[in-house]
């Protein structure tokens, strides 16, 4: 928003947070198979239920950046992206990839699906 001409003091006083999300494909529950080389992770196989794709449906992975007093102060000072990210992580923010890892551990999606959608995140 600052690149679009919004003054830092206006942004700092009005922004509550920023939510980013991406959709990832869910593994087909009928044919997913556990990876013997990496127990606890599953991979797509393909069956009649999913039209041989290995995936059925989608779910979201998220990254929530909450603005606290420290972040508000950094925005007001014109801090860079890296400083803001460090402050957000210190306040408990987790990345989309980390949220995706939670879905992988639950068996809902495959590791390669998370890497595919977070490659540029």
What is the pTM (predicted TM-score) of this model? 0.79
Q: Is the pLDDT of residue 31 over 80?
A: yes
When the candidates are 2.170.190.11, 3.30.70.260, 3.40.50.1820, 3.40.50.300, the CATH number that belongs to 2-118 is 3.40.50.300
The pLDDT confidence band at residue 89, using thresholds 50, 70 and 90, is very high
Q: Which pLDDT tens digit goes with each residue over 90-104?
A: 988 999 999 999 999
Given a contact cutoff of 8 angstroms between Cβ atoms, the answer to whether 20 and 121 are in contact is yes
Q: Is the pLDDT of residue 2 over 90?
A: no
Q: Is the pLDDT of residue 121 over 70?
A: no
- pLDDT value, residue 120: 77
Given a contact cutoff of 8 angstroms between Cβ atoms, the answer to whether 12 and 75 are in contact is yes
DSSP class of residue 94 equals -
Domain positions in the chain are 2-118
Across the chain, which distance is largest between two alpha carbons, in Å? Answer: 57
| Alpha-carbon span 57 to 51, nearest angstrom | 12
Given a contact cutoff of 8 angstroms between Cβ atoms, the answer to whether 121 and 97 are in contact is yes
Task: Work out the mean pLDDT of the chain and round it to a whole number.
Answer: 92
């Amino acid at each position: 928003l600052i690149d679009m001409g919004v003054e830092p003091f206006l942004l700092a006083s009005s922004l509550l947070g920023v939510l980013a999300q991406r959709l990832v494909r869910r593994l087909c529950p009928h044919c997913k198979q556990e990876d013997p080389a990496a127990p606890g992770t599953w991979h797509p196989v393909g069956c009649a239920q999913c039209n041989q794709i290995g995936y059925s449906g989608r779910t979201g992975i998220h990254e929530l950046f909450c603005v606290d007093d420290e972040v508000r102060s950094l925005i007001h000072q014109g801090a860079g992206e890296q400083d803001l990210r460090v402050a957000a992580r210190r306040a408990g923010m987790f990345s989309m990839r980390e949220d995706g890892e939670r879905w992988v551990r639950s068996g809902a999606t495959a590791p390669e699906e998370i890497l595919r959608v977070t490659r540029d995140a």
